[in-house]
Amino acid sequence: MLVAADVYRPAAIDQLTILGKKVGVPVYSEGTEAKPSEIAKNGLKEAKSKKTDVVIVDTAGRLQVDKAMMNELKEVKKAVKPTEILLVVDAMTGQEAAALVGAFNVEIGITGAILTKLDGDSRGGAALSIKEVSGKPIKFIGRGERVEDLEPFYPDRMAQRILGMGDVLSFVEQAQQVMNQEDAEELQKKIMSAKFNFNDFLKQTKAIAQMGSFSRIIGMIPGMNKVTPAQIREAEKNVKFMESMINVMTAGMYNLHS
Ligand X SMILES: Nc1nc2c(ncn2[C@@H]2O[C@H](COP(=O)(O)OP(=O)(O)OP(=O)(O)O)[C@@H](O)[C@H]2O)c(=O)[nH]1
Binding site for ligand X (CB under 6 A): 6, 9, 12, 15, 60-61, 88, 116-117, 119, 142-145, 149
Q: Cα–Cα distance between 229 and 98 in angstroms, integer?
A: 24
Q: How far is the CB of 201 from ligand X (least distance, A)?
A: 27
Distances (CA, A) of 247 to 168, 244, 256: 32, 5, 15
Q: Cα–Cα distance between 27 and 29 in angstroms, integer?
A: 6
Q: How far is the CB of 11 from ligand X (least distance, A)?
A: 8
Please check whether residue 87 is in contact with residue 61, taking contact to mean a CB–CB distance below 8 angstroms.
no
Residue 40: how many CA atoms within 13 Å on its side-chain side? 22
Q: How far is the CB of 33 from ligand X (least distance, A)?
A: 18
Pairing of strands 138-142, 150-152: antiparallel
Using the minimum distance from each CB to ligand X, give the nearer residue, 103 or 246. Answer: 103
Q: How far is the CB of 193 from ligand X (least distance, A)?
A: 40
